Amino acid sequence: MMAIPILIMFPFLFLSILKETWYPYFFMMARIWAKCILIGMGFRTKVVFEQRPEKGKSYMFVANHTSMIDIMLMLSIIENPFVFVGKKELAKIPLFGFFYKRTCILVDRSSPKSRMEVFERAQKRLKQGMSICIFPEGGVPDESIVLDEFKDGAFRLALEHEIPVVPMTFYDNKKRFSYTFFSGSPGQLRAKVHHFIETKGKSEIKKTLKTEVRTLILNELQNDSK
């Protein structure tokens, strides 16, 4: 399912990555790719927007991370062009990895130097008018963990560039398609885009901002499970 849409759109995808300024065209096709996969796997999406992103504005999109399909769901929901910050290991996936490493900001979580380079590349993208998407848990946690602790990077970037943080909750991705073999099923993928959290004039509250966003998403997940 990942490969078929890429093969069909390959010439156009390849052309769109030749220049950084053409990234919005790549993003548009990536959204088509994501929706094809979700439909092909038997998933239907239901999204509640408490607030909608405005065209032409930059945001920091953050969500809980539970599954590979978090990437596809994020792309299908958000229309504003954004760049993923993701782990470098995904670049090894055949075909998908070719475009992933050329369009996303890759991080080696074991390397402090890599984390600094990620910050610099993200700053460059924000200055180009793009948005950034980070799963602040830093990876998919063990299935027994509802929501892992958040890393600082997303909130540091948002505060420094004074862009709104957009918290998002993915309710069903772990249940529908986890990393446990022979688990999951077709069905509904629910998501909520929460009210944005403004960062202008709040450069000194990184820890508070991180805690606020994590508490919001955690409460949403816990209330949903009751």
Residue 131 sits at the vertex; the CA angle it makes with 154 and 117, to the nearest 5 degrees, is 55
Give the integer Cα–Cα distance in Å for 167 and 53. 12
* Six-digit token string for 82: 């954004």
State the pLDDT at residue 92. Answer: 85
Give the dihedral sign, CA 108/57/163/67: negative
* Closest listed residue to residue 132, CA positions, set 97, 93, 158: 158
State the pLDDT at residue 204. Answer: 59
pLDDT per position in the chain (226 positions), as tens?
888 999 999 999 999 999 988 999 999 999 999 999 999 999 999 999 999 999 999 999 999 998 989 999 999 999 999 999 888 887 888 888 889 888 998 887 667 677 678 888 888 888 888 999 999 998 888 888 899 999 988 998 899 888 999 999 999 999 998 877 777 899 999 999 999 999 987 765 667 899 999 999 999 999 997 6
State the pLDDT at residue 59. Answer: 96
Is-contact 187 42, C-beta < 8 A? yes
State the pLDDT at residue 144. Answer: 83
Q: Could you tell me where the DSSP H helices lie in 17-109?
A: 23-40, 69-77, 96-103
Task: Return the beta strands (E) in the chain as ranges.
Answer: 43-49, 60-63, 82-87, 105-107, 131-134, 165-170, 187-193
State the pLDDT at residue 226. Answer: 60
State the pLDDT at residue 222. Answer: 93
Which residue is it, tokens 């390397």? Answer: 111
Strand partners, 107: 87
| Angle of helix 23-40 versus helix 3-16 axis, rounded to 10 | 170
Domains and CATH numbers, the chain: 44-225 (3.40.1130.10)
